[in-house]
């Protein structure tokens, strides 16, 4: 997770017995230009596969409504999870129309994920 400019009110958190077990956020990508990013989604390893990640995403989408275009960056292996919520892969022909901050984050993510995990970082979007 990019630790810069975190704002608590953007997060949806899941709690069990007073323990934080998952969270995710939607944050603006271009300061009011209408592009947003679903980011920082994480569920405690021991609690995965119980619907918690899906519940967090559903709540984030519900709260976001139709305010603008949603994007996200994810590892290529996680795209099936996001497709369930209506996200689709952004084709390389659409690359230049992506918000600059997203392209920057993807480059940084690819360095880390590509180098350490041998994974590709992909961009997905959800139509309004």
Ligand X SMILES: CC(C)(COP(=O)(O)OP(=O)(O)OC[C@H]1O[C@@H](n2cnc3c(N)ncnc32)[C@H](O)[C@@H]1OP(=O)(O)O)[C@@H](O)C(=O)NCCC(=O)NCCS
SS3 21: strand
In the numeric block, the tokens 């994974």 are attached to 119
Please choose, out of 37-45, 59-67, 107-115, 120-128, the segment that lies near ligand X by the rule CB under 6 A: 37-45
* Reduced 3-state DSSP string for 5-18: CCCHHHEEEEEECC
Q: Give me the least distance between CB of 14 and ligand X, in Å please.
A: 8
Q: Give me the least distance between CB of 53 and ligand X, in Å please.
A: 2
- CA–CA distance, 119 with 22 (Å, rounded to integer): 23
Residues contacting ligand X: total by CB under 6 A = 16
- CA–CA distance, 63 with 47 (Å, rounded to integer): 24
**86 binds ligand X, rule: CB under 6 A:** no
**89 binds ligand X, rule: CB under 6 A:** no
Q: Which residues bind ligand X (CB under 6 A)?
A: 41-43, 48-54, 72, 74, 77-78, 80-81
């Amino acid at each position: 997770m990019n630790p810069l400019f975190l704002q608590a009110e953007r997060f949806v958190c899941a709690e069990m017995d007073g323990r934080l077990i998952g969270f995710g956020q939607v944050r603006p990508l271009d300061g009011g230009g209408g592009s947003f990013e679903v980011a920082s989604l994480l569920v405690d390893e021991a609690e995965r596969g119980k619907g918690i990640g899906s519940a967090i995403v559903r709540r984030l989408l519900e709260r976001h409504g139709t305010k603008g275009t949603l994007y996200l960056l994810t590892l290529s292996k996680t795209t099936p999870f996001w497709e369930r919520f209506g996200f689709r892969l952004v084709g390389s022909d659409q690359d230049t129309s992506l918000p600059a901050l997203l392209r920057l984050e993807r480059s940084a993510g690819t360095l880390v994920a590509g180098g350490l995990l041998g994974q590709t970082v992909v961009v997905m979007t959800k139509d309004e």
